[in-house]
A = this chain, B = another copy of it.
Amino acid sequence: MTRPPVVVLAGGVGAARFLRGLVQVVPAEEIVVIGNTGDDIWWRGLYIAPDLDTVTYWLAGVADTERGWGIRGDTFTAQRALDVLGANAWFQLGDRDIATHLYRTDRLSQGAPLSMVTAELASSQGVATRILPMTDEPVTTRLKTDMGDLHFQEYFVREGARPLVNEIYWTGLESARPAPGVLEAVRDARIVLIAPSNPIISIGPILRVPGVRDALLSARDKTVAVSPLIGGRAIKGPTVALMRAEGARPDALGVAELYRDIASGFVLDSVDGELNHSIGELGYSVATLSTMLDQVSDARMVASAALEVLSEVAAA
C-alpha cells in the first residue's frame, strides 16, 4: 500500500452500509477496517464473528442487505436438519454462511490467529479492503439485564433486545492486544473514520482493547465520526437503549460527547441540525447532510462528507 490508508472503526450493518459508499470514493485496497469482535460467539461448536462477516459479505457483494445478516439467496438446509435434531436454534445460519464458520473454526483450531483467518476469508471472497479484527484474543460483550447475565447475542438475537440493561461489561480485555496491523494502521492513516455503528456495543469494545484508545488519542486531529443516530433513533439495533444504560445522552450530541477525545470531525444528519452548535462547542468540525444509508449513492455522499469535513476546515 503506497498511500496512507483510510482506517474505519466498524461494527456490523451500519458500518457495512457506510463502507459500501466509502469504496465508491476511496480505492478498496486503501481502506483498512478495524472490526468489532465483542459480539463473536461460539455456536454449535462454530466460531462466529458476526461483525467481521457482515463487513466482509457486504464488501464482497454477497450480503443479504434486506435481512441484514447472512448471505443473499442462502439456503437453510443444515439449520432445518438441526431443528429436527432438537437443537435450540435461536441463532440462524445459512448453509453458505456455515461454510464460512467451518472454515474459520477449523483454521483457528489449527492455531491460525483470527486476523489471519479474517484476511483469508476476505481474500477468497474477492474483497480488496483489509479487514482486521480489533484483537486476536477473545473479548466478549456481556450485559447484566433483568433477564440475567447475557452474551450480547443472547440479548440481541435470542431476546430481541427486549431485556432491561443494567450494565454492560467485557470479558477478556485484560489479556487482549490489538491485532497485528491495528495500531500501525491508526498511526499511518491519512484519516480515521468511526463508522455509524453503535458507540457502546460496536465501537466501544474496539476502544477498550488496551493500546487502541491511546493510538486514537494521538490520531484525534485526523479522526471523523459519523453519527449512527438520526433524530435520536438508530436505523437498526438497540443503540438508544444501550447508550441510556451507559448514562450517555441518546442522540447525536451524546455520540459526539463519547468520541470527543478521539475525534475532531463529526458528521450528523440534517434533522439534527439544532445539535450542530453544541457539537461544534465540543471542538468538532461538523458536516450536516442526510445520513440515511439505504442507497449506495446516499452512502457515497456520507462517506465523501466524512472524508472532507476536516480538510474543508483546514482549507478555510
Contact = CB atoms under 8 A, between A and B. Distances in A.
A230 interface: no
Contacts of A188: none
Interface string A59-95: 0000000000000001101111110111100000001
A125 B81 CA distance: 10
Interface stretch (A21-29, A103-111, A163-171): A103-111
Given A86-B124, A106-B44, A100 B77 contact: no
A296 interface: no
A125 to B, nearest CB: 7
Contact of A46 (B79, B102, B120, B125): B102
A244 interface: no
Interface string A201-215: 000000000000000
B81 A99 contact: yes
Contacts of A100: 81, 85
Contact of A79 (B86, B87, B99): B99
Given A75-B75, A78-B99, A99-B79, A85 B45 contact: no
A95 B121 contact: no
Contacts of A85: 99-100, 103, 120-121, 124-125
Contact of A78 (B80, B95, B125): B95
Contacts of A95: 75, 77-78, 81, 95, 98
**Dominant SS among interface residues on chain A:** helix
A96 to B, nearest CB: 4
Nearest to A84: B124
Contacts of A86: 120, 124
A106 B89 CA distance: 13
Contacts of A84: 99, 124-125
A100 to B, nearest CB: 7
Contacts of A98: 78, 81, 95, 98, 102
23 contacts: A44-B102, A44-B105, A45-B45, A45-B46, A45-B102, A45-B106, A74-B77, A77-B77, A77-B99, A78-B102, A80-B99, A81-B95, A81-B98, A81-B99, A82-B99, A82-B102, A85-B99, A85-B100, A85-B120, A86-B120, A87-B102, A87-B103, A98-B98
Q: Which 8 pairs of residues, A with B, have the shortest CB-CB distance?
A: A81-B99, A77-B95, A45-B105, A81-B96, A44-B106, A78-B99, A45-B106, A82-B99
